Amino acid sequence: MTNKFTKRQEEVLTRVLNDDFFICGLHGAKRSGKTVLNNMVFMNEIARVRETADRLNIDEPMYILAGTSSTSIQNNIIQELYNMFDIEPKYDKHGAFTLCGVKVVQVYTGSISGLKRARGFTAFGAYINEASLANEQVFKEIISRCSGEGARIVWDSNPDIPTHWLRRDYINSGDDMIIDFHFKLDDNTFMSDRYRENIKNATPAGVFYDRDILGLWVTGEGVVYRDFSENMVVDNVPEDITKVYAGVDWGYEHFGSIVVIGETSGGSAYLLEEHAHQYKEIDFWVDLAKNIKERYGNITFWADSARPEHVARFQREQLRTFNANKAVLSGIEEVAKLMKTGRFFVVSNKVSKFKDEVYQYIWNEKTGEPVKENDDVLDAVRYAIYSQHSQPKATVRRRSDYGL
C-alpha cells in the first residue's frame, strides 16, 4: 500500500477498512488527495455492498453516486475510475449503471431539483462528491435513503465558511459513527516539494490560502484583494499584448462599467481602460463599446447576464458579447492569483475608480462573500478575467499519475 498512497491516505484507509462507521467525510485543501482516495473507497464499498446483498439474497442492491451535476460526477469520479481501472459504465435511460452487481444511481446535489432523483428507494450506501456545494435538503435525503443493512456514506469536500451546515452537522457532530479526516496540501507527497511550494507561492493571501493550502474552514476578513499594491500601477503598456477582451457590469443608479483587459504572451493581465458612469442609457454603452471595438478590433465582451436585454442589444449591434461567468469566489481567486504572482497591472492614466474600489472592497465575515459595495469596476474586471480563463479544457490522466 505504501507505493500507492500517501501517509495520510494510508491512515484514512486503515480506519475505513477496519472500523465501522455510518458517515465518513474527507475535507480540506485542494489537490490534497481526498477525491482520488474516496474513489478507491467507493470501489471497496461497492464490493462490500455486493457481499452484503449476497448474504441477504438481494439480486440488485442499490448505491447512490452523488455530485453537483452529471458533469462533475463524470469529471471527478467516472473519468478517474476509467483512468485507474478501465471502468467504462453502461448507462440505462435513467443514467444508472451496474458495477460489480450493484446498481449505481446518480443523484445531482447542486440544486433542490435533485431531490426527486434521491427519493423512492432503499440504498446500501452513498458516495457524495463536493459535499459543501450540495443542497442541504438533497444531502440529507440521500442519507435517509441509506437504510439498507450496513449502509455507509462517504463524502469529500473543500472547505467553506465556518458556519456551513456540513461542518456543523457532519464534522462537529460529536457522534462516534460520524467520522471525518482533514487534509492539507502538504499531505499530498506524490507532488514534489518544489511543485507544492510553487502552488503556495501562487495562492492569494488570506481566505484562499487558508482554504486551498491549509484546508481550513474559515471566512474572509479585511480587504479582498490584499495582494494588490501600488507597484502594480504602471504608466506604460508593454508591446507584447497578444489578447484583448472586455468586461461589462450594467448599472444606472449605481455605476455601470466597461473595462478593457490586455494580456501579454507571458500571461500578465493589464487593465488598459476603465469606463464607469451613472445614469447612462443603453445607447451610451453601445456607442462606447463600438468605440472600443474600433480601436482594439472585434474583441469579446463578457457581460453581466442580469440584464439580458442589454446583452441582446450588444449582440444586435454586432458586438461579440457573451454572458459572463459570474462565480464570485472562483472569479475573485482568479484575479487575486494574478496579483499574488505579480501578473496584474493597471495603466495609471486610463483608470480611476478601480484604484478607489480595490482598497475598499472587503469581506463580509458572516457570509464569507464580499460586501456588495465598492465593486462596480471590480465586478467588470472579475467577469472579464474569470470568463476568459475558465473556458473548459480537457484533462487526461494516466494510471502512473496515481502510482498504479
Chain length of the chain: 404
Contacts of 43 (CB under 8 A, 6+ apart): 81, 85
Q: Would the CATH topology of 7-203 be identical to that of 230-389?
A: no
Which element (helix H / strand E) includes 356?
Answer: helix 353-357
CATH 3.30.420.280, applies to 230-389:
yes
Q: Which three cell numbers stand for residue 92?
A: 440505462
HSE-up (13 A, CA, CB side) for residue 134: 31
Specify the 3-state DSSP secondary structure of 276.
Answer: strand
Q: Sort 254 into a burial class: Cβ within 10 Å, 0-12 / 13-18 / 19+.
A: middle
The Cα–Cα gap between 196 and 213 comes to 9
The predicted-structure confidence for 177-207, as pLDDT tens digits, reads as follows: 999 999 999 999 999 999 999 999 999 999 9
Under-70 pLDDT residues of the chain: 1-3, 391-404
Give the domain ranges of the chain.
7-203, 230-389
Q: How far apart are the first and last CA of the chain?
A: 10
Matching residue, cell 455492498: 49
| pTM of the shown model | 0.79
Are the CB atoms for 159 and 208 separated by under 8 Å? no
357-404: per-residue pLDDT in tens? 999 999 998 888 999 999 999 999 999 999 999 865 444 444 344 333
Report pLDDT for 172.
82
Q: Which pLDDT belongs to residue 100?
A: 95
**Does the domain at residues 7-203 carry the CATH identifier 3.40.50.300?**
yes
Cα distance between residue 321 and residue 311, in whole Å: 7
CB 133 within 8 A of CB 109: yes
Alpha helices in 19-156 (DSSP H): 34-56, 70-73, 79-85, 136-145
